Amino acid sequence: MRAFKLYAIKDGTVIDHIPEGKGLKIIHLLGLDRGCNNIVTLGMCFNSKRYGKKDVVKIEKRELTNEEVNKIAVIAQTATLSIIRNYKIVKKHQVNIPDVLEKIICCPNSNCVTNHEPVKTKFLITKKKPIQLNCYFCERAFGLEEVTIH
């Protein structure tokens, strides 16, 4: 088995410790697979002492917004973000699921007002492991596997 390394980036964001197989989903959620002006590198199935296997995503010349970080936190709770400037890590932190998610998740309840009116979705996180969400509008509870992230 050959070992591969991802090259260093001068400026941008590195998303590390992504659960194995979720790196491509993160690229899709962030829209990095659609007309991106940034170079994106995906490393999959790297060995990890802590998690066994992991994925890594590097995005050159771009720092993520809070909304984008929250999207990552929903599907990859173990992920860490590193902000790189001039080849050096200037900030590093683990993603955290906020207590409230707005405009990130679609409500699976077909009768919810968010599916019929131009209302921004809002979910309260009632449990973080495993994730349990309550729609602010219809007040129904959902597990992560029941919702769609947009």
Query: Which one has a higher pLDDT value, 1 or 49?
Result: 49
Q: Round the average pLDDT of the chain to a whole number and report it.
A: 91
Same domain (yes/no): 83, 110 = no
Q: What is the CATH number of the domain that holds 115?
A: 2.30.30.20
**H-run or E-run covering 19:** strand 12-19
Q: Are strands 12-19 and 80-85 parallel, antiparallel or unpaired?
A: antiparallel
Residue 7 tokens, joined = 């090259």
- What is the total count of domains within the chain? 2
Residue 92 pLDDT = 96
Whether 45 has a binding-site annotation, put simply, is no
- The pTM for the full model equals 0.85
| Residue 5 maps to a domain | no
Can you tell me the distance from the alpha carbon of 134 to that of 148, in angstroms, rounded to the nearest whole number? 14
Same domain (yes/no): 30, 57 = yes
Q: Are strands 131-135 and 100-102 parallel, antiparallel or unpaired?
A: unpaired
| Residue 17 maps to a domain | yes
Whether 36 has a binding-site annotation, put simply, is no
Residue 1 tokens, joined = 């088995």
Domain that holds residue 85: 12-94
pLDDT digits (tens, 9 = 90+) for 22-43: 999 999 999 888 876 788 999 9
Same domain (yes/no): 39, 78 = yes
Same domain (yes/no): 25, 66 = yes
Same domain (yes/no): 77, 104 = no
Beta strands in the chain (DSSP E): 12-19, 40-48, 52-60, 80-85, 88-94, 100-102, 105-106, 122-128, 131-135, 141-143, 148-149
pLDDT digits (tens, 9 = 90+) for 93-127: 999 999 999 999 999 999 999 999 999 999 999 99
Confidence band for 8, pLDDT divided at 50, 70 and 90: confident
| Residue 145 maps to a domain | yes
Query: Which of 73, 94, 115 marks a domain boundary?
Result: 94
Q: What is the CATH number of the domain that holds 78?
A: 3.30.70.140
